[in-house]
Structure 1
C-alpha cells in the first residue's frame, strides 16, 4: 500500500491535533504520574512514544495484519468461533452471575441484577477511520440494539478497539443511561460528547456500588487517541468483588497489558482471583508487541501470578491487528498449559457469544 495514500489525512490530523498535554490529575507523590501524563510501574517499559512514521512503515510492510488467513479462511473461522447467544440468560440480569464474550475484549458481565459492559466495541473496524484501522473479520454476536439494558460500562483505556464512539453513541441513542467508570483523564472525552455519569479512577482506587466493589488496577500498556496525546490519560484493568445471595466471587479483567510484576502485586493487595479475563491475541511481531501485549504463554503466567482459579482468553479472533493468524492463539495457549502441566479446563476459550457462569464461593 503506497505511503502517499496516507499523506493528506495525516497532514489534516497534524493541523487539527494539539501539540501538548497537561495532566490535571498530576500527583508528584505517585510514581506513575507525570506533569504531562502517566507512565508504567516498570521504568524500562516506555511505551507509546513510537513516531507516527514508524507506525505507518510497519503498517505498510504488514506488521499489523495476519501473515495468512486462518485454516479454511475467515468465514470458516467465524463458523467455528461464533455461537448463538442465549437470549434467556441475557434478558435475566437477576439470574446466576455469568459472563458473555462478545468478541475482541468486549464482555457482558451479569451479576446481582446488573448488566455490566466492558470495553465495548461492536463496530466493523477499530480506529479513527476505516482507512487507518483494524478491520473486523468476524462479526460480533450481537448488535448494540440486541444488547440487554446496560447499567454500567467499564473502560480500561482510550484505544479505539476498547473505546468505540459509534458503539457508545448507539447505546445511548436507544435510551440506556449507564454509569461509566474510566481511567484518569478519560472523562474529558465523554465531557466533549456531552455524556454524563462518568467516574474516574486512579490505580488502586475503588468504588463501592452496593454489593459490587470495583478496583482499578495497574497494567503495562499505554494510551493514545490522537497524534499528540500519547500517555496523556491512564490505562489499567478492573478487579471486581461480587456478593450475590451471600456468595462471593472475584473477577479480574486485566485490560491490555504486557507481562509485568503488576499481577503479583494485584494478587498481594486484593487476593486471589476466581475468574481472570486476560488477552491472548495481538502479540506478533514480538519486537513491537512484547512491552504492551502479553502472548499466550505470558497469559498463562498471569493466571498463575494472580492465583486465578480459571481464566478466559480475550483480545483475539475479531480484528486484524497483528501478525499472528486468527487461529494461532488457541494453539499457543494449549502449548503453554502443557508446558506447565496445567489442565486445559482452567483456561476457557469460549466462542464469541457464548455465556459461562462465574465461579462462586
Structure 2
C-alpha cells in the first residue's frame, strides 16, 4: 500500500465520528418518519430453502475460497492461511430482541458447527445485522478486529476485548495484512449512541493478491481512494441490497448500479455480491437486487463473471494473482 491522501476518521465537536466527506452520518428523524409512513414495500416470503452446497475445501495455491453464508457473512480461506470470517450472524433475527425485528428469510449457508478453526473475525461496524453478540459468543473466536469504539460492546456482553483500528490502520493476521478502510455509513445500537463508534470495511492482503470486504457503504469518493491507495483487488465483496426507497437509503447503502461503479472505482477484478436476500431491511423485493445487478452489469458491458451473485452456501474458488 503506497503513501497517499489517506487519513483517520474525523470527529465532530460532539465527539461523534463523521463520514469520509465530513458529513454527519445517517438520516434525520424527520426523514426516518417519512420513510416509515411509506410502508414496507414489496413483501418477502417467510422462508426460502436453498439447495445444499458442498462444504468449503482448502483452496489451491494462489487462490481464495470465498463461502457466502448470507447477508455480509463470508468465510474466507487462503491457501496457507489465514482463515477469516466477516460480520458473522447465525441468529434468527438481526435485532436486540429474540422475538422482534427483521427475521431470516434463509438459513445460514453453512452450519456454525461446520466452520473450520478461525484465525480472526472481522467486524465492519456495530449494527445488529453485522455485529451479532449471540453468534460471537458461540464462535469463541480467538481474535476480533473492528473499528474504533466497538470493543466496548463486546466487553459489556462478556466477550473478550477486540483489536480496534482507525481508518487506514493496519494489523497482521497470520501472513495477511489487514487494513481498516473508510465507508460512508453510520453506527448505532441504541437511541443515544449514533456515531460513537466507527464503521468501515477491510482490505486483506497476502503476497499473492488482495481481497476487499467493503462492509456497509453508500457510494462516494472514498471508493476511488480505496482503489488508489489499497488496490488493485483480485476479489471484492461488495453490497448490492437494502437500497429502497432510494431517496432515503442512498446516504448509507449502494444500489446495484452504484455497486457496478464501485467495482471499477475500487479496482476490483472479480466482485462478489453481498448484503441481499437474507433479512428484509428495506422496501425492495427479495429477488430485486440480483435482477437489478444483472441489468446494471449488462448496461456497463460487464461479463457476468466479473460481478458474481453467489448462491447461499456456495464456495467460490477465485485466483488472487493476475
Q: TM-score scaled by structure 2?
A: 0.90
| Structure 2 partner of 1:214 | 178
Question: In the alignment, does 2:304 pair up with 1:344?
Answer: yes
Question: In the alignment, does 2:263 pair up with 1:303?
Answer: yes
Contact 1:94 1:114 in 2 (8 A): no
Contact 2:56 2:67 in 1 (8 A): no
Question: Which consecutive segments of 4 or more residues in structure 1 shift more than 6 A?
Answer: none
Post-superposition CA distance 1:268-304 (Å, at most 9, x none): 1122111111110000011110110000000000001
| Structure 2 partner of 1:38 | 17
Which residues of structure 2 form unaligned runs of 5+?
Answer: 1-6
| Structure 1 partner of 2:192 | 228
Q: 1:231 to 1:196 in 2, by over 3 A?
A: same
Shift of 1:265: 0.5
Post-superposition CA distance 1:175-198 (Å, at most 9, x none): xx4210010000111221232252
| Structure 2 partner of 1:13 | none
| Structure 2 partner of 1:8 | none
| Structure 1 partner of 2:147 | 183
Question: In the alignment, does 2:26 pair up with 1:48?
Answer: yes
Which residues of structure 1 form unaligned runs of 5+?
Answer: 1-28
Shift of 1:85: 3.4
Post-superposition CA distance 1:33-84 (Å, at most 9, x none): 23522000123x4333533x8646744652xx44134xxx555xx34xx342
Shift of 1:103: 0.5
Higher helix proportion (structure 1 or 2): 1
| Structure 1 partner of 2:3 | none
Question: How far apart in 1 are the matches of 2:201 and 2:121?
Answer: 13
Which stretch of structure 1 is more off in the superposition, 153-162 or 123-132? 123-132
The alignment yields a C-alpha RMSD, in angstroms, of 2.2
Q: TM-score scaled by structure 1?
A: 0.81
Post-superposition CA distance 1:225-278 (Å, at most 9, x none): 1110001000000011023xxxx1210011100000101101111221111111
| Structure 2 partner of 1:7 | none
Question: In the alignment, does 2:43 pair up with 1:68?
Answer: yes
Shift of 1:147: 2.1
| Structure 2 partner of 1:251 | 211
Which stretch of structure 1 is more off in the superposition, 125-134 or 98-107? 125-134
Contact 2:9 2:167 in 1 (8 A): no
> Which has the greater radius of gyration?
1
| Structure 2 partner of 1:18 | none
Question: How far apart in 2 are the matches of 1:88 and 1:104?
Answer: 18
Matches within 5 A, 1:304-323: 304-323=264-283
| Structure 2 partner of 1:24 | none
